Amino acid sequence: MNISADLSLPQQAQYLQTLPAIHERCGRVLDLVKQGKLQYLDYHADKDGVITEFCSRIIAQDFGTNYDKVPPQDWAYTEQSTGERYLRSEGLAVGCLHMFTEGYFSSDPEQPHQVDGTVICRF
């Protein structure tokens, strides 16, 4: 969808927060990865099944198999500095962004803006 031609700026912002927009944008990234056009990502088609199985197992373990409740419908993240409230996936994204900028994912205080596997495994 060419949102800049079809929608006003507020409508564009609202659309970009929807699942169809997220799927569309992720699809674009996946296409670029498959074509080898992204510098920091590689695509390994032979790993699709393993990745799908891993993600499904983690989701089932943490949330059960009732996938329409991941995250729960009433779950929200409230940003401390502004009081703004973000629902569901958007809330998870904003919360994770704050955790990243505050260095929660780094094991090196001198390099707070990095993600270390050892730290992620502790979550």
> Where in the chain are the domains?
1-43, 44-70, 74-123
Q: Residue 108 corresponds to which tokens in the numbers above?
A: 């090196």
Its pTM stands at 0.44
Q: Residue 97 corresponds to which tokens in the numbers above?
A: 């962004």
- Cα–Cα distance, 14 to 69 (Å, whole number): 22
Q: Residue 47 corresponds to which tokens in the numbers above?
A: 């790993």
Beta carbons of 114 and 103 less than 8 angstroms apart: no
What pLDDT tens digit does each residue of the chain (123 aa) get? 667 678 889 888 888 888 888 889 999 999 999 999 999 999 999 999 999 999 889 888 887 887 665 666 678 899 988 999 998 888 888 999 999 999 999 999 999 999 998 888 887
Q: Residue 69 corresponds to which tokens in the numbers above?
A: 């409740």
pLDDT of residue 88: 82
The phi, psi pair for 85, rounded to 5°, reads -110, 130
Residue with tokens 């056009």: 37
User: What single-letter DSSP state applies at residue 17?
Assistant: T
